[in-house]
Structure formats: structure tokens, C-alpha cells
Amino acid sequence: MVAKLTKGFWPKVARIILRNRILILIAILGFTVFLALQWKNMRFSNTEANILPDDHPATIEYNAFTKVFGEEGNAIVIAVRDSALFNPINFNRWNKLSKQLEAFPEIDFVVSTDNLRVLVKDNEAQAFVMEPYIKSPPKTKKEVDSLKNHLFNELPFYDNLVYNPKSGTIQTIAYLDKDIMNTEVRNQFILNDLGDLVEGFEEETQLDVHVSGMPYIRTWNTKSIVDEIGIFIVAALLVTSLIFFFFFRSFRATFISMCVVIIGVMWAFGFLGLMQYEITILTALIPPLIIVIGIPNCIFLINKYQQEVKKHGNQALSLQRVISKIGNATLMTNITTASGFATFIILDSDLLKEFGIVASINIVGIFILSLLIIPIIYSFMPLPKTKHLKHLNKKWIDFFVNRMESIVRNHRIAVYLVTVGVLVLSIIGIYQIKITGSRIEDLPKNTHFFKDIRFFEQEFDGIMPMEIVVDTERKNGVIKPATLKRMDQLGTVIDEIPELSRPLSVVDLIKYSKQAFYNGIPKYYQLPTSQENTFIMDVARKSSSEGDLLKSFVDSTGQTARLTTYMRDVKIDRMEEIEEDVQQAIDKFFPSERFKVFMTGKALLFLKGTKYLVKNLLLSLALAIGLISLFMAYLFRSFRMVIISLVPNLLPLVITAGVMGYLGVPIKPSTILVFSIAFGISVDDTIHFLAKYRQELAAHKWHIKRSVYAALRETGVSMFYTSIVLFFGFSVFIISSFGGTKALGGLVSATLLFAMLSNLILLPSLLLSLERSIANKQVLKKPQIDILPKEEDNLKDK
């Protein structure tokens, strides 16, 4: 019934399109203008990707932490490692930089040598007071050296916070106003105001300044994404247009195809604006993806038009047949491609969900544009000249198709042996794959901000915050000596882990208080004894200045405290080991019946988010395979044909996974995306081949061999054309400076190349070898949908 409906549907669609050409063009123009007006709603992502769902335990714990202590990722760090800083002119200029930073409304407060406070005991008031570290600007080298000696040797509280005693590096920490953290104001401040300040300091002092921190990295990361969008679009247009022209040798055909995909790109940006989705590292790939995926549609339609013109020279009939005969096939292939992307919609990750929605909508959109624009534009043009049809008789393409046919005809045993051998090697490679990745490994390696990340890892043991929250479950439980001792023991364990920085907590403030109580002598920077604790706490209670400091480490009730450490950029497997080591220490020092202690922070959220994402992307791949299998079953109504169609499309995925294992490419979010995308695209060739094969079976009275060879000759050229375009089209992503995008481009390109060979060689070989199993009408029943009409000469290459 469905097949009968579709048989009459497409000729009717062809008549509607060709009879309403002007109206359709006006409608396309109007809709394009409407979407172009939505560009104003486009905005680049200022927030971190929300990978974990809101109800995930790690998200709940992080939200609980931020509710008490606020967001912990708002620090920008600025550092200089140069002995020349410690001369009066440069040192005073460094302190002036701190004042300039603090004057900006975007900055909440600054910690630097300029405004550093020293905790001292006021003997008369019997209280602790905060005195300025620098009472007046130093005028001589001797004064600067004295300040340096005081800081490096007598103020251990600021060790690894403001200075590194081993290298002599000095650091200023500027805390952004939390209200602007996820806004465009943050970007403008960092790119313009902060950049100008640092540049001015460097010019005046000739010192090399290093800048980093999570807001700084996120801003420059966003800028890099923005800069690459235009490069990708131009590169994709250039590569696909050159390949298209090489195949067709027609400026007219190339120009029409470029117009189609350029409108598709305009629609892609328009839909992003219409849905008010942020442009992220994934949604930024959609415009060039539309170019790469749209060109094969143009190839099928224009090639068919030229074949029809060559056959009978009737333009009106040729255009009608282009729509009625190719429309259904291209619709089916575009639906399978869109399905590969649409599976991301089921995931809880907003980042992938938005990518899946916009990509799948635009893939269907580029199909509609191709089907409408190409026949309509050609209807206003004269018939193609003989020179435009020469590509249909290229000898090298004949040689390629004949070679494929020869392999299938004469070397099927060799094909199976090679397939089994490659499969075994791939499985061995798969066992070498690791699920890993790190927070910054996909960032552009040759940028200044990436190099500065490495600098701060070397000098201050990292910039990724990791928090440990200790809930004593009783008021003022934090400052009890037993609790402080437990926190100090935990801090010692953390400090011994090479990838973590020395933790900062209320323990350090109590140690600093004891040092101040004993007139600032460094050896007394330690926790007070039980006897000392009583009178040190009495002094502390009279001190308003210490109360201000305490707010950073303890909540208002004195019940909950935080330990803040910073983590180097490490792989996920090492991050898991660190988490396990810290958790063991927590369990050892804090009995669960008396304390509620948990780890959180951006570093831990990344670990949990990556594992969660990999698990869900594997689920989306399984769903894509399942959906497309059901689709194939619906089309061909044969279980055996579904299995035969899946084998040549799953094999390339296994090969790619094996190659990843041998090359040491880990499974991570950016690489696991490859499989769903590639599977959705590669199955298109299978649909074209099997549809033509079934048609040939009817024409050749169910003679398997003749049908297979005829289908291979008919569809081989089209499969080669489209696969080459897709291979080089996805290869443009290799020029990206982002490791994840680069891996996506290279792996999808390789997978599609493997898929082309698999569909041209393995698929027809399987059909011939299983001749007896499928050589009856019950196996290949009449399909639900006639993808190709009976008289179809699909993209024939004579």
C-alpha cells in the first residue's frame, strides 16, 4: 500500500515543483530572509557545557558547595617568573598593575603583593590585626629585597598562593564578579581591558607575563571557536567545489551546487538563532557539515539530470524524472544520515542534544533545498552542452568500476580472507583502546593561553580547582582541635600527591594565627596544642580582621569547611586514581557516622561528566544502529537483507576503532561521536546499492549474479563520487587547532573511506555468496517503499 502511494507521490511532487517555480523560489527567499533575521539571536557560549544532568549526585554536591561558598572558578591568575621583577621600578609597576585591576567594576577583589596583609598580634588590645605587607612603595633594591625575604621566608601562609619560593615566581589573583562569569561582559573584559593592561605592563618593563585561570581559558577558547567557523566554511566550500568541478567539469553545475549549500549554511545559522542555542564547539561544526553532506545530494540530482538529457534530450521530462526518481532515494539517505545525528537528542547532555536537534533539522533542510532549487534553476537554463556530459564517459571511472566488479567476480575468497584478517587485527587494536582524555588536551596547543596553562601547572601545580567539603554536623564543629587535626592530616596526604597543589583551608589560617601569636616567627606556623588553642582562640574572637578571612574557608555557622586544592592536567585514568587515594584518606580520617565529607569542583565534574558522556554516546550508537536496522527492515522487509546490509557498515566502525587502538587515540567524547555520525552517513551507499539491486532482480527475473553486477555498475560511480566528496569534506576539520575537532574529521573521513570499499566490494560479494539463501521472492519481498522506480537508470555511467 505504502509502495503504491509513494509511486504516485513523487511524480505529483515533480509536477507541483515545476508548475510553481517562481512561487517556490520566492518562498525559499522569504524563509531564508526570515532565518537571516534570526542571526541576531545567535550567541557564543559563555558557560561551561552542562554535561551531567541536574539530578546526578555529582551535580547535586557541586550545587550544594556553591550555595555555601559560591562559584570557585572565577579566579584569573597573572604571574611573572623573572628576577628583574625585584627592582624598585618593576616591582612598583607590578603593584600598580594590581591597583589598575582592582579599579575595574568587573573585578571583585585582588590578592597581590600590593594589598597583601600580614596577621600580627596587637598586645594592647589582645587581638589579631591585619597590617599591610607594603607600608610604602620601596625606593631602593635593598628595600625590595627585604620585602621579598619577608614574603618568601616569613609568610608560609602565602606559599603557593602568591609566590613560589623555589623559582621566585610572583602571582597576582584577580577574582571576577560572579554575576558576569557567564556573560559577554566577561569576554569583553578579558579580551580588551585585561589584554591592554598586561600588554602595557610588558612594554614598560620588558617582562614576560603569564595569564590563566578558568574564566581566561574559557574566553580564549570561545574566541578560537569563533575564529575557526569562518575557516571551516571557506575550506569546506573550496574543497567540495574543486572536487565537484573535477568530476563534472562544469562551472554552471558547480555554481548551482555552491548556491544550494550556501543557502543551507544561512539556514543553519538561522536555526541556531531561532532556537536561541549557543554556538559551542559542536554546533560550530554544523554549517561546514551541511556543505559536506549537501554536495552529495547535488551530485545525485545533477548527474541524473545530465544522464536523462543525454538519453533523450527532453528538458521537461529530464527534470520531472530527476525529482520523481531521485527524490525518494535522496530522502531515504538523508533520513538515515539525520538519524545518526538525531540519536544525540535522547542524551541528558544539553551540548549534544542541541547539536543533534540542529544538525538533523538542517540535514533535512539541505535535502529540501537541493530537491527544489536544482530542478527549478535548470528549468530556466538551456540544455547542457555536449562538453558538460563528457564526464559520463570518463575512462578512469570505468576502470575503477570494472576493477571493483572484477574483484567481486573473481576474488571473493580473497575478499573474505582479507575481511577476516582485518577484523581480527581490528579486534586486537580495540583491546588496546583506553577510555581517557583530559580537561585541556583538546585545546589548541600552539596558543599562548595553552602554553600559560602549562606554566601555571609547573609553578603552582595546576589551575583546575578541586574542593573537599567537610560537614561536622554541629555548630562551630570546624574549629575544634580534633577536627582541625583531621583536616591537617588530610591536607598532608593531598600535598603528597604530585598532581595536586598544597591545599588551602581554615587549618592554614589557624596555623597563621599561632605564628602571629608568637610574633611572626615562621617555625610556629603549625596547629596550636590544646593548651595554646584556648588563649589563641580568645585572641581570635576579639579580631574582626580574622573573621573576614574565616569567611573564605568556613560557613557562617562554623559547621562546614572547605579544603581547596588545584589539579594538574592529567588523564582520566590518573584522575580516578587520585580521587580514590583522596577518598581513602577521607574515609580514614573522617568517620562517616560523625562527618559528612565529599569531593567536588570543576576537576571532579569533568571526570564524572566524561565517563557519563562516553556511556551515553555508546547508547546513542546502539540506538542509531537499531533505528537504521528497523528502517532497513521496513524498506526491504527481509531479516537476511538487514543483516547483509549491516555487515559492510559495522565493519568500518570496527576497523576505525582498531586503528584508534593502534595509534593510541583514546575513547573520549570527541572521538566516540565519530561512530554515530559515520554510521548514519555510510549506510546511504548501502540503501542506494540494495535499492538498485532489488530493482535489477525484478528486471532480470531474480537472477542474482546479473542483478549484483548490474547494480554495482549502476551505483558504483555515484558511491565513488559521494564518498570522495565526503572524505575530503570531513578532512577539512583536520586543519582545526582543537584536538577533538581534528580527531573527529580524521576518523570520520577514514571510516567513510572504509565504508565505501566495504559497500563496493564486501556487500556485493555477500549477495553473491548467499545467492541460494536469498534467491527467492520471499526473502526480497516487494518493499514498503519503492526507492527507485522500475524504469530507473540510477546515475548510470556509460
DSSP-based three-state secondary structure for 468: strand
Q: If we measure between CA atoms, which residue out of 298, 256, 346, 229 comes closest to residue 676?
A: 346
Q: Does residue 9 contact residue 331 with C-beta atoms inside 8 Å? A: no
pLDDT above 50 (res 499): yes
Predicted pLDDT at 678: 81
Q: Residue 27: is its pLDDT beyond 90?
A: yes
Question: Cell numbers 545530465 label which residue?
Answer: 306
Instruction: Give residue-wise pLDDT tens across range 323-364.
Output: 877 777 788 888 888 888 888 888 777 778 888 899 999 999
Query: Across the chain, how many H-helices and E-strands are there?
Result: 28, 12
Q: How many angstroms separate the CA atoms of 308 and 577, rounded?
A: 65
Q: Give the pLDDT of residue 4.
A: 47
Q: Taking residues 76-102, what's their average pLDDT?
A: 91
HEC profile of 177-225: CHHHCCCHHHHHHHHHHHHHHHHHHHHHHCCCEEEECHHHHHHHHHHHH
CA–CA separation, 545 vs 565, rounded Å? 24
Residue 787 scores a pLDDT above 90: no
Give the residue-averaged pLDDT of 662-680.
79
Q: In the prediction, which pLDDT does 218 show?
A: 83
The predicted model gives 368-377 an average pLDDT of: 91
Nearest to residue 186, comparing CAs of 251, 115, 107? 107
Residue 157 has pLDDT above 80, yes or no: yes
584-593 pLDDT, tens digit each: 999 999 998 8
| pTM confidence score | 0.78
pLDDT of the residue at 796: 39
Total length of the chain? 798
| Mean pLDDT of the region 609-621 | 78
pLDDT digits (tens, 9 = 90+) for 434-475: 776 667 777 788 888 889 988 988 888 877 888 999 999 888
Give the model's pLDDT for residue 633: 77
Checking if the pLDDT of 536 tops 80, the result is no
pLDDT of residue 422: 92
Q: How confident is the model at residue 408 (pLDDT cuts 50, 70, 90)?
A: confident
- Say which residue, 394 or 329, is predicted with more confidence: 329
More confident position, 187 or 534: 187
The angle at the Cα of 522, spanning 521 to 528, to the nearest 5 degrees, equals 85
In 22-85, which ranges are E strands? 43-44, 75-80
Cell, residue 321: 524524472
**Confidence tier at 547 by pLDDT (50, 70, 90):** very low
CA distance 492 to 503: 9
Model confidence band, residue 663 (pLDDT cutoffs 50, 70, 90)? confident
Q: What mean pLDDT, rounded, does the chain reach?
A: 82
pLDDT of the residue at 795: 37
Please give the C-alpha separations between residue 769 and each of 191, 412, 474, 688, in angstroms, as whole numbers. Answer: 64, 8, 76, 20
What is the band of 171 on the pLDDT scale with cuts at 50, 70, 90? Answer: very high
